[in-house]
Amino acid sequence: MTALQATRRAPRDRGALLLLLPALVPVLFFSVAPLLYGIYLSFTDARGGRNAVVSFVGLQNFGDVLADGDFWSSFKVGLIWAVSVTLLQFLAALGLALLLNSDLRFRGLARALAMAPWAMPPIVIGLMWRLVYHPNAGILNATLRDAHLIGHNVDWLNDFGTALPAIIVVGVWTGMPQTTVVLLAGLQGVAKELHEAAAVDGAGVWRRFWNVTLPQLRPVIVAITSLDFVWNINQFAMVYALTQGGPGGRTRLPMLFAYEEAFRYGFFGYAAALGVAITIVVLAVLGFYLWRQMRERA
């Protein structure tokens, strides 16, 4: 690049930076700065209360995390939740995407209705499903009683055996729309000529789906399942509205555990270390998954 070209390019670069500032400032202020501050707190003994003295404790908080059985119990619950919801979301969304990609009558209306859960805030979803699961006035118990499938009311969200499956159902219902949208976009990118060629060779519907559609969707599937896993294991608001982590910690996801440590007990430094530890473990799990997928493609 000549000196003249560099001189002409500099004002354009400054102009582009100025145009990006309205988008960059909120990201720096609301995302990057809190993240860095949280990492800083994880190395301190910060606690709630007036005039609390904050001291640097190094890796002590992380050592406490490794020795905290309650945290690892919550992380186990979180993994069961995230894997189950991600897998079921994908299967349900794939079926719905295939249906919406077909010559369905009133397809536009069906697509709009399928997106309805996406437009609802997590707290609203949690409160709505609490009413559905209500042991005495909930529509679920009433429907099952009318169908003679149960003989007495079930307290879905307070029973040790049903609480986690109940919130998994809500998680699948909540996250299915965005997965459906991504898979539907991927399906519309699959060349029809490939299906036609496979049909000419005598391949049936299932073989065309398995040998043509799925391989074409694989990059989309890897991307959306990875994002779904991260979103699900970081879930907080909806589960808090449903169960607040009960009964007996059966639905206490890792973020709920960190929230309690910070805002119920006032251990801000330890809670920040929990957040950092969760992030590291999730990145490791996600990195292993992506590595396996890339290795299989190679």
Residue 91: pLDDT band (50, 70, 90) is very high
Please give the Cα distance from 168 to 174 (Å, whole number): 10
Q: Which residue has the higher pLDDT, 32 or 6?
A: 32
User: For the residues 248-255, what does the mean pLDDT come to?
Assistant: 92
- 262-286 pLDDT per residue, tens: 999 999 999 999 999 988 888 888 8
Q: Look at residue 297 in the predicted model and tell me its pLDDT.
A: 67
Place of tokens 């990195």: 287
Question: 43-297: what fold?
Answer: MetI-like fold (1.10.3720)
Q: Look at residue 12 in the predicted model and tell me its pLDDT.
A: 63
Q: Residue 255 is encoded by which pair of tokens? A: 């973020």
Question: Looking at the predicted structure, is the pLDDT value of residue 113 above 90?
Answer: no
Cβ-Cβ contacts under 8 Å for 16 (sequence gap 6 or more): none
Query: With contact defined as beta carbons under 8 Å apart, do 238 and 174 qualify?
Result: yes
Secondary structure letter of residue 55 according to DSSP: -
- Residue positions counted in the chain: 298
- 192-248 pLDDT per residue, tens: 777 677 777 777 778 877 877 888 888 888 889 988 998 899 889 999 999 999 898
Q: What is the mean pLDDT of the chain?
A: 85
The pTM score is 0.85
Q: Which residue has the higher pLDDT, 131 or 100?
A: 131
Query: With contact defined as beta carbons under 8 Å apart, do 282 and 233 qualify?
Result: yes
Q: Which residue has the higher pLDDT, 290 or 247?
A: 247
- SS3 percent helix, strand, coil of the chain, rounded to 5, is 75, 0, 25
User: For the residues 35-54, what does the mean pLDDT come to?
Assistant: 88
Please give the Cα distance from 292 to 294 (Å, whole number): 6
HSE at residue 138, side-chain half, CA atoms within 13 A, is 20
User: For the residues 167-196, what does the mean pLDDT come to?
Assistant: 86
Give residue 202's region: left, alpha or beta (phi > 0; psi -120 to 50).
Answer: left
Q: Look at residue 13 in the predicted model and tell me its pLDDT.
A: 64
Please give the Cα distance from 112 to 107 (Å, whole number): 9
Please give the Cα distance from 164 to 153 (Å, whole number): 18
Query: Cis before residue 121, ω within 30 degrees of 0?
Result: no
Give residue 154's region: left, alpha or beta (phi > 0; psi -120 to 50).
Answer: beta
Q: Look at residue 30 in the predicted model and tell me its pLDDT.
A: 85
Q: Look at residue 11 in the predicted model and tell me its pLDDT.
A: 59
3 state SS of 44:
strand
Cβ-Cβ contacts under 8 Å for 163 (sequence gap 6 or more): 156, 157, 243, 246, 247, 250, 251
3 state SS of 298:
coil
Strand partners for 56: 44
